[in-house]
Amino acid sequence: MRERRFAASVAISASPAEVFAFISDHRHVPEVLEGVERWQPLGVATGLGARFEVIMTVFGFPLHQVLVIDLWDPPSEIGWVSEGGAIGQHGGWILRPTAQGAEVSLEIGFRAPDALSNSAIGRLIEGAVRGRLERALARLREALEASATSSEPGP
């Protein structure tokens, strides 16, 4: 099996702690990540070892996985790895402070059978993953910056 890795970053006008609080709440996942049909905690919902039942639709096909949080370093990083599933994956959020807020990176790696990786379908999947990363970061920025604007005191 061949591993494919993707990463994207965005600057957000929110502190790493604010971003971490938002992304660590599983209820926000469908808000920022397209294709999520289910992201349900299997027990504890936060922290190292938290497990989630995940169903994502890719090209009309549901992918079922259990994701486990294997890195939890507030307010800097959250990482996960899949347990089983047809396509193994891992990924994470990396948050770094900037003068204007935070630089937020989202990284995903997945292992697919070589026959799939080397096919036209594999190339379509790679394009979909890359696009979803970029759109997830844009939605995250919109959600956090809209929240900050709505909570500022008026004139």
Q: Tell me how far apart the alpha carbons of residues 61 and 139 are, in angstroms, rounded to a whole number.
A: 23
Residues of the chain above pLDDT 70, percent: 84
Q: How many CB atoms lie within 10 A of CB 88?
A: 16
Residue 155 has pLDDT above 90, yes or no: no
Which residue matches tokens 């956090």? 144
pLDDT score for 19: 97
pLDDT score for 95: 98
CATH T-level topology, domain 2-149: Alpha-D-Glucose-1,6-Bisphosphate; Chain A, domain 4 (3.30.530)
Kindly indicate the confidence band of residue 139, based on its pLDDT and cuts at 50, 70 and 90: very high
Residue 33 has pLDDT above 70, yes or no: yes
Output the CA–CA distances (angstroms, integers) from residue 2 to 109, 118, 136, in the order listed.
10, 9, 25
Q: Tell me how far apart the alpha carbons of residues 13 and 144 are, in angstroms, rounded to a whole number.
A: 8
Tell me what the pLDDT averaged over the chain comes to: 87
Tell if the pTM clears 0.95, that is, is over it: no
Residue 115 has pLDDT above 80, yes or no: no
Type of residue numbered 16: P
Output the CA–CA distances (angstroms, integers) from residue 52 to 64, 87, 127, 142, 147, in the order listed.
11, 16, 25, 25, 26
pLDDT score for 146: 87
